[in-house]
Each structure stands twice: as C-alpha cells, then as structure tokens.
Amino acid sequence: MMSALAKLVSVGTALLTVPLALHYLGVERYGMWMILSSLVAMLSFADLGIGNGILNTVAAAHGREDRTAMREGISSGFFVLSMVAALILLVFALFYRHVAWHEFFNVRSLRARAEAGPAIAAFVMCFAVAIPAGVVQRVQMGLQQGFIANLWQCGGSVLALIAVLTAIYLRAGLPWLVIAFLSGPLAANIVNSIVFFWVLRSDIRPSWAMANKQSGLNVIRTGLLFLLLQVAAAITYNSDNVIIAQLLGSASVPLYAVPERLFSLITMTATMALSPLWPAYRESIARGDVEWARRTLMKSLKVAIGYAAVLAICLMILGPWIIRLWVGEAVKPPILLILGLGLWKIVEAGGLALGMFLNGAHVVKTQVVFTGLTAVVSITAEIILVKQIGVAGAVWGTFFAFSLFSILPYALLTPKLLRVIERQNGAIK
C-alpha cells in the first residue's frame, strides 16, 4: 500500500512538473531539463553498482540470519560510496571550466547557453551527495522493508514539487529548478538515514569499526558486476533524449520526452510492484526455497505483461488526446512514436520481471553480456532510425534491440538456470 502511494505521488509530481516546466522554460530550455532528467537515470551507475551490491549482501545475510555480515557489508559499502562521491566532486571541479557545456546540450539561445554550465554543476553536486545518502534505501529493500523507503520517497516527492513550484513562482533560472527538483528526495534520504540507523535499527548502523577489507572487496566485486549491467542498461534505456538533441537539436526533445513521460507510467507502476521481488528472490534462494522463486517468476511475468498490455493499448488510443489536454498544442507526437512507445513498454515490463529474478539469483555476468550487446545494437539502430524517421526512431531502435538481444535469450536461458539452482540447493537429487 505504501509503495503504491509513494509511486502515485512520485508519478503525480512528475506529471505536474511537465506542463509547468515546459511553459515556464520554453522548448529549448525544457529540452535541457529533460536531458538532465535522463542523466539522473544514466548516471545511476556512478555508485559503481555498490548500492545493488549492498542490497544483495543484506538480503543474503538476512536469509542466513547473519547480522554481523550484514553490518560489515553495510559499513564497508557506505564508506566506499562516500569516497566515490568525494571523487566525483573533485574530478568535476577540476574539469568544469574546461568544458563547453552548451555544446553538450546543443542549445543556441543566449540564456540557454549561459545556464548550461551552472545547471550541470547543480545536478552533479546534488547527485554526488545522493550516492552515500541512498544506502539506507538499499538496506531497507534488502530487509524487505521497502515500505519504509517508500514512505520517505513519498515525502521527498512532495517536497520536490513544492520546491519546483516555489522556484517557478520566484522566476528562478534552470540551475535553481534543478536544485529544487533534486533536493527533495535528497533531504528525504538524509532524514531517513538518521531515523533508520540511529533510532529504528542502530544495530546495523554503518560504523568505521565494522568496515573491513574483505567485506569491502565482496561488496565492490558484486557491485562492479552490477555497474557493468547498469551502464549497459542506462545506455539502452536513457540515451534517447541525448541522441535526439545531438541529431535534431534540443528543441526536438520535448516532442519525444513528453509522450515518453506519459508512457513511463507503465514502467513506474510495474517497477513499483516488481521491485520487492528482487530481495525476496535472493532470500528465498539463500534459504533453499527454489520452488517459491519458480512459481513467483511465472506469475510475475504473466501479470506484468498483461498489465502493461492493457495500459499500453489504452494510452496508444487516448495518448494524443491526453497530451493535448496536458500540455496544449506545444507537443504533437507522431502516431509512429505513440505506437512504438506502447509496444516498447509491454516488452520492457516482461524484461523487468525477468530482471528482478536474475538479480535475486545473482546471475549478473550473463545479464552484462546480453545487456551490453543490446546497448550497442540499440544505440546504432537509434542513430540510424532517428535520421530516417525522426524522433520515433529512438523508441523503435530500443524496442527491436531489447526484444532480440535481451528478452529472447533470457526466455531461453531462464528454465535452464532454474534447474541449475535447484541442483545447487539439493532440490534435485
């Protein structure tokens, strides 16, 4: 219930900020805003995958009821992430003045060019601090207490909306709008960390004394695998706006980004339902209950694909009307884009269900191979198709690459993987 509320608030905040930001910033600066939004997801691998390594470590230790291993993993991961955040800030500070940031956004107006550098700086500062602050969410997910994280996420989304409305009311520039949007979730994570680690679960609070080389290496080793996976996935899923900006200009980004934001409702809500399965799979496999994992995987695939198909069809039919009601005549998406987004979200939902199982089963190397191949094919196809058919080419390139080089191989390999896990756990004699 709390997860649903948190996602509804998060989705509602995202939807409300679209028309507000679009009309306030204008088409070109709104394109910059959308590119920065994409970077939030694309740079999620800046924590070197250690956040996901902590999640898996906590879930496995929880399944074994090993509190010492849990705290060692949390402590080691937290201090490594703190060093990563400090390194990001240092490197950015060294290179900031030597990069023409307006060229990255491909903007032309004087105001957009002037705001490009400060907007990137605001984004990097908030993002770096958020890396160690996000450890608490990974721990809560690993303990299957995601409802606590969702509660704080809900508060962060509300705070972000209030901050964005305030920035627009004060006629603040794009850098302040970026700070307003990112500071809400960041503040929520910081307060969540204080309450969780100092009040609710002080027994697993990060401690320098509990951090050690072996635990750190274990978390880093697992994290690096997730890093490779996250990099490839980020390139596949979140490069669309950047490619469109480079090939067609930032002014073309809203034509793609606004309808994509509408269809992202499918991904957001599917992720909301499927994310708790990751640590649940990890814990069940650690306990030797492979049959539960098998049944849950099959059920989640059917529900995820069915749900996504129903909602995608509705949005393909009503999407143009909803967008016109939502942002007016500023964005008129082509039918080919609407159709492609609908099909992509159905396939993506199936991939999410499979991905949660594979992450929980700690089958990361295989995912890295196929996701990396998908990323290469996806980028190539997107560049070719955007040049040929415009913004719609971005989603069709992703759809074909993901279907052929991720979904198909996983569908063939997963049954074999389940049998291997059963043998390893003694389920098959």
Cα of first residue to Cα of last residue in the chain, in angstroms, is 41
User: Which positions ≥6 away from 343 have C-beta within 8 Å?
Assistant: 312, 399
| Range 246-252, long-range pairs (CB < 8 A, 24+ positions) | 246/106, 247/383, 247/386, 247/387, 248/386, 248/390, 248/391, 249/31, 249/106, 250/27, 250/28, 250/31, 250/32, 250/35, 250/105, 250/106, 250/107, 250/112, 251/27, 251/28, 251/31, 252/31, 252/390, 252/391
Q: Identify residue 178 by its one-letter amino acid code.
A: V
Contact criterion met (CB below 8 Å) for 266 and 311: yes
- Please give the full DSSP string across 30-87, using - where no structure is assigned: HHHHHHHHHHHHHGGGGGTTHHHHHHHHHHHHHHHT-HHHHHHHHHHHHHHHHHHHHH
Q: Identify residue 405 by its one-letter amino acid code.
A: F
CB count within 10 Å of CB 427 equals 15
Give the pair of three-digit tokens for residue 146.
Answer: 């995601």
Alpha-carbon distance of 164 to 152, in angstroms, equals 18
Contact criterion met (CB below 8 Å) for 402 and 378: yes
Instruction: Using the Cα atoms of residue 73, residue 74, residue 76 and residue 82 in order, give the sign of their dihedral.
Output: positive
Tens-level pLDDT at each residue, the chain (429 residues): 455 555 556 666 666 667 777 777 877 787 887 778 767 665 566 676 788 788 888 887 887 778 888 888 899 889 888 988 999 899 999 999 888 888 878 778 888 888 888 999 998 898 899 889 989 998 998 888 877 887 888 888 888 888 888 988 888 888 898 898 888 889 999 999 999 999 888 888 888 878 777 777 777 777 777 777 777 777 777 788 889 988 988 778 888 988 998 998 898 888 878 888 888 888 888 777 888 888 999 999 999 999 999 999 999 999 999 988 887 777 888 999 999 999 999 999 999 999 999 988 888 888 888 988 999 999 999 999 999 999 999 999 999 999 999 999 988 888 888 887 777 665 444
**Residue 318 confidence (pLDDT):** 93
Give the pair of three-digit tokens for residue 62.
Answer: 């929880």
Contact criterion met (CB below 8 Å) for 51 and 135: yes
**Residue 368 confidence (pLDDT):** 86
Summary count for the chain: helices (H), strands (E): 17, 0
User: Which positions ≥6 away from 339 have C-beta within 8 Å?
Assistant: 316
From 272, 259, 254, 255, select the one nearest 308 (Cα to Cα). 272
> Could you write out the three-class secondary structure of 161-227?
HHHHHHHHHCCCCHHHHHHHHHHHHHHHHHHHHHHHHHHHCHHHCCCCCCCCHHHHHHHHHHHHHHH
CB count within 10 Å of CB 398 equals 28
φ/ψ of 362, rounded to 5, equals 60, 35
Cα radius of gyration rounded to whole Å, the chain: 21
